[in-house]
Chain A
């Protein structure tokens, strides 16, 4: 037998058609299934939003009642299509979403899609900064807590994690404002007024302030934007950071009990190296998974953070329209948030599948 004969693959039996379908790689099959699940998940979410907005009563009456006569209310209902059968309304709502039409606000007659474009970037930016804060707090402190398990640093860090998770985000925001604004830190807004006005001239204008500031190329403006982002990012990041801290700690401790860690120890690897090299990366996998859920938490927290800090994103707009009882605007914004949460969960699944091969099998 030649070397070539040894290396040649042994011919096997022919594949059945069914098996050919399963011939996709495990990763591809996993992603396909997840993508297929995304559609019904988003459909259920948007349907729930639609139904909830109908259950709470007549949106026109809620927004404009007391200002219009019954005849005018009826006219407005007809204009908004709310006098039609619920199934017709539902079909128009769903088909509108496919066209990117999230409806029109009742109180100031703006396209909800315009609000989503103009304010969505601000929320995205806040979520980004707060995730950085959450990682910066949660991961190193979680590792520290695991390392000093059941000793004073661990106890203090666990207490800290519970406190920052349990404290209402607006309360934390208020405390931060009271603590820092006397030292010249801005209490509200995404940038100084001069910066905001100047950045409107950036072409292309992304509405993501830090990107616009970088495109403008003025370090003072970049600093100004970062300075404005600091307090809201900390307020919101602490919330998620507390969750990350506890997750990293627990997973690190569990990983440290695994056989391969024991084996590493038996080989004489130092405890510090075992923790840092062998256990830590595996302990991060569940954190990435939970990050998907945290997106929803971040968006929920953003409503309060944005209102507290006048950060004019989707949460801020949502609060404004809730106060005005403009439920058609609320429906549009909540629908987008539902879609974002669904898509984020899918993307997290994809990331996890790449990081941890076990989940695809």
Chain B
């Protein structure tokens, strides 16, 4: 018994000591370290790979934005392409399929290796060669070849002359420049190896790293690029599994900034919390409905068109924006979201911004469609955020409120969904789009280009612009070719407007909402708003406190 008592006493003493020590270290930033001197950013995004060849996602892009240099980049608050590692890039005056970049002199990686034109060629070639399923190789579809045409000159040969979208590709996940002396040419580099190799030349390097747990970034004193000098020497990224924990930590001021992805309800709650500020910037995510033109209701193309127009006249985007998303998504009246150069409000012009039952009724009766029209509407509950169910319940309610539609709303998990919608399973379904680069073309070409079965053109499976059907649209194809290769901004924007009006007229897609980018910062943290721009780059260099 004495033994047991001794054991009990040890357990009790341990517990007591623990409690005492815990109480002693009860300060919010207790525990030492240098977290107090830097900024801590929390996110629910995950890093797939630090190596650009193996990642094409927000979490990885966020790390890459801090540690790699690009040929061109967007300075904070702007979507104007600005030289980063390059001193200039331009189309060859004699051959518009050549895009030539001249490198700055004296660039180095943080490990001391020189950053040269050869590294740039290596970086782009390996992305294509590795062609990792998680990687950005598809973004380089317009690049036929790349070569170093001198110690400091890189020449891209493009598939089409004067392709104005290609310079934008250089700023995407396909654009980071890596060190050819440390990165393997034929495989994706493991994160820990990438950190150890220190082949970074961006504004920050990675000083400590636990994959998807913590990453500590230290300012790179040798950085010479678009973002300028870092305002904060140390930024730590903390990765969360649950938005609720991210919310609690920013609410308790245990972290300085919460960037992606708090729920609309959490953001609304934090907006009312003392000591924290919700910063809203340009978004870019588009949420929309796809009509499978072959499978949707309607006995003829004319009837199908009338049904699409009637649906367009019946939805209330503002209500979904405020009721479901608490303003964190705003109404989208075009496939090109507001804020992008050349964006219009084509759907508002064609169908108004409020539901118009009379107009919807007229479209249907003129085409001889009997009502109520039965629509099978499919959405996905696990890929486009937790509020999709509420969003599509609202769409169903709005359509049925007109008395013109009977909506059969069904949901399917992403694994199945992503197999079934390309297989013509759903007549009408939900999709979302996050752009590869901030240009109107990126909201148009992937949706409207000539349809082909390998989805290299139109990936949504709407069958719009499908040459084997009544939905082929050669005019649209010509308009897209024109805007992609038009170096004159004014005439390009006119063409973009024409395309958007045509989409509103044919309605193969119904844009519903566009996302804003939201970050929450505690009092005293500056620069968050500066980086929430349409480039979708969250730059640590802007942050200070």
A67–B133 alpha-carbon span in the complex (Å): 7
A188–B28 alpha-carbon span in the complex (Å): 12
Interface residue tally for chain B (C-beta within 8 Å): 60
Interface residues of A in 183-203 (CB under 8 A from B): 184, 186-189, 191-198, 200
A128–B381 alpha-carbon span in the complex (Å): 37
* Contact with A319, one of B241, B254, B417 (Cβ below 8 angstroms): B241
Max chain B Cβ within 10 angstroms of own Cβ: one of A61, A66, A193, A197: A193
Whether a CB of chain B sits under 8 angstroms from the CB of A84 is no
Which of the segments B32-40, B290-298, B347-355, B395-403 contacts the partner chain? B32-40
Size bracket of the A interface = 35 or more
* Contact with B254, one of A186, A221, A320 (Cβ below 8 angstroms): A186
Q: Which residue of B lies closest to A183 (CB)?
A: B26
* Contact with B214, one of A62, A72, A193, A218 (Cβ below 8 angstroms): A193
Given contacts A107-B134, A193-B35, contact A188 B1 (CB under 8 A): no
Max chain A Cβ within 10 angstroms of own Cβ: one of B1, B14, B213, B252: B213
Given contacts A186-B254, A222-B25, contact A197 B134 (CB under 8 A): no
Q: Which residue of A lies closest to B25 (CB)?
A: A223
* Contact with B31, one of A62, A110, A139, A220 (Cβ below 8 angstroms): A220
User: Is A226 in contact with B30, judged by CB distance below 8 angstroms?
Assistant: no
* Contact with B23, one of A196, A223, A281, A320 (Cβ below 8 angstroms): A223
Whether a CB of chain B sits under 8 angstroms from the CB of A77 is no
* Chain B residues with CB under 8 A of A226: 18-19, 21-22, 25
Q: Which residue of B lies closest to A307 (CB)?
A: B241
Given contacts A66-B415, A76-B133, A188-B249, contact A194 B31 (CB under 8 A): yes
A65–B18 alpha-carbon span in the complex (Å): 48
Interface residues of A in 21-74 (CB under 8 A from B): 61-62, 64-69, 72
In whole Å, how far is A301's beta carbon from the nearest beta carbon of chain B? 16
Given contacts A118-B210, A135-B11, contact A192 B29 (CB under 8 A): yes
A66–B19 alpha-carbon span in the complex (Å): 50
Interface residues of B in 232-280 (CB under 8 A from A): 236, 238, 240-242, 245, 248-249, 252, 254-255
Given contacts A66-B414, A224-B31, contact A187 B26 (CB under 8 A): no
Whether a CB of chain B sits under 8 angstroms from the CB of A136 is yes
A221–B26 alpha-carbon span in the complex (Å): 10
Q: Which residue of B lies closest to A200 (CB)?
A: B208
* Contact with A223, one of B22, B241, B422 (Cβ below 8 angstroms): B22
* Chain A residues with CB under 8 A of B18: 226, 230
User: Is B210 in contact with A194, judged by CB distance below 8 angstroms?
Assistant: no
Q: Which residue of A lies closest to B248 (CB)?
A: A187
Given contacts A76-B133, A310-B242, contact A276 B31 (CB under 8 A): no
User: Is B24 in contact with A108, judged by CB distance below 8 angstroms?
Assistant: no
* Chain B residues with CB under 8 A of A192: 28-31, 33, 35, 254
Q: Which residue of B lies closest to A129 (CB)?
A: B18
A222–B15 alpha-carbon span in the complex (Å): 13
In whole Å, how far is A308's beta carbon from the nearest beta carbon of chain B? 8
Q: Is the interface of A mostly helix, strand, loop or mixed?
A: helix
Whether a CB of chain B sits under 8 angstroms from the CB of A316 is yes
User: Is A194 in contact with B21, judged by CB distance below 8 angstroms?
Assistant: no
Whether a CB of chain B sits under 8 angstroms from the CB of A181 is yes
* Chain B residues with CB under 8 A of A186: 254
Max chain B Cβ within 10 angstroms of own Cβ: one of A108, A118, A198, A221: A108
A359–B70 alpha-carbon span in the complex (Å): 70
A224–B248 alpha-carbon span in the complex (Å): 18
Q: Which residue of B lies closest to A174 (CB)?
A: B244
User: Is A181 in contact with B252, judged by CB distance below 8 angstroms?
Assistant: yes
User: Is A320 in contact with B4, judged by CB distance below 8 angstroms?
Assistant: no
In whole Å, how far is A270's beta carbon from the nearest beta carbon of chain B? 13
Whether a CB of chain B sits under 8 angstroms from the CB of A219 is yes
User: Is A66 in contact with B34, judged by CB distance below 8 angstroms?
Assistant: no
User: Is A195 in contact with B32, judged by CB distance below 8 angstroms?
Assistant: yes
User: Is A223 in contact with B30, judged by CB distance below 8 angstroms?
Assistant: yes
Type the 1/0 row for B379-414, where 1 means its CB is closer than 8 Å to any CB of A: 000000000000000000000000000000000001
Whether a CB of chain A sits under 8 angstroms from the CB of B216 is yes
A192–B28 alpha-carbon span in the complex (Å): 8
* Contact with A281, one of B4, B12, B238, B417 (Cβ below 8 angstroms): B4
User: Is A227 in contact with B22, judged by CB distance below 8 angstroms?
Assistant: yes
Which B positions have Cβ atoms within 8 angstroms of A?
A: 1, 4, 8, 11-12, 14-15, 18-26, 28-36, 40, 46-49, 54, 133-134, 188, 190, 208, 210-214, 216, 236, 238, 240-242, 245, 248-249, 252, 254-255, 414-415, 417-419, 422, 454
Given contacts A135-B11, A194-B29, 19 further A-B contacts (CB under 8 A): A65-B415, A66-B418, A107-B134, A184-B28, A187-B245, A192-B35, A192-B254, A193-B255, A195-B33, A196-B214, A200-B210, A218-B32, A221-B31, A223-B22, A223-B24, A226-B18, A227-B25, A230-B18, A312-B210
* Cβ-closest 9 pairs across A and B: A66-B418, A194-B33, A223-B25, A195-B31, A194-B35, A224-B31, A223-B21, A227-B22, A192-B31
Q: List 28 A-B contacts (CB under 8 A).
A: A67-B418, A76-B133, A108-B49, A110-B211, A132-B11, A136-B12, A181-B248, A188-B242, A189-B238, A192-B33, A193-B33, A193-B40, A194-B35, A194-B36, A195-B31, A200-B208, A218-B31, A219-B24, A220-B24, A221-B25, A221-B30, A221-B31, A225-B31, A226-B18, A307-B242, A308-B242, A312-B213, A320-B241
